[in-house]
Copies of this chain bind each other. A is one copy, B any other.
Amino acid sequence: MLGLLSFPGERTGYDLKKWADASLRFFHWSPAISQIYAELRRLESRGYVTSARSGPEEPRAKRRYAITEAGRAALARWAAEGDGGPVVLKHPLVLRVWLGHLAAPGRLRALVEEHIARTREELTEIRGALTQAESVPRWAHPAVALRWSERRSLAELELAEAMLADLEGLEDLEGLDALEGPAGLEDSGGRS
């Protein structure tokens, strides 16, 4: 949140969510909107952000948030300390491939192909965000992050393609096993 607000301008929680969905999420998940509001209030109570209601003091009026000096300092401290720890990766597709022995081979291939299609879509989204970021000199670093995301998306496609090839290789082996295996004599390639 502080990071999002560290770029110039004031924005609402809603804005923040859209921003996160459009760029942050490609390399570091985007929080739920309800959490954003909760977090903003928490940050305000700590003096890291201030909110200005547009118009009078209605209870649920539009609030625009801005980061404070204390917030900037806290953020800089956070960025300076440690490295943020290891990359978190949860890849449901590979998990299913790992458990491939309980699915039909065709099913796995279909899942991989779906994943490729989804990744292609993501790639175009990233490219959209990237061209936007490149148009503003202020956003040089976000642009680097998005460039990373673009390349990562391309790599993801290649990885999926390679895994598809591996899976087909497996099926061929299984085909051979079915022919040679149980029958007996000619264990040409093999091991025990």
Contact = CB atoms under 8 A, between A and B. Distances in A.
Interface of A: 3, 6, 23-24, 27-29, 72, 75-76, 79-80, 83-103, 107, 111, 114-115, 118, 137, 140-142, 144-145, 147-149, 151-152, 155-156, 158-159, 162-163, 166-167, 170, 173, 191
Contacts of A75: 99, 102
B100 A80 contact: no
Given A100-B141, A152-B159, 19 more contacts: A3-B95, A3-B98, A27-B91, A28-B91, A28-B94, A29-B88, A76-B102, A83-B96, A87-B156, A88-B90, A94-B145, A94-B149, A95-B145, A98-B141, A100-B140, A141-B170, A147-B163, A151-B158, A155-B158
A138 to B, nearest CB: 8
Contacts of A97: 141, 144-145, 148
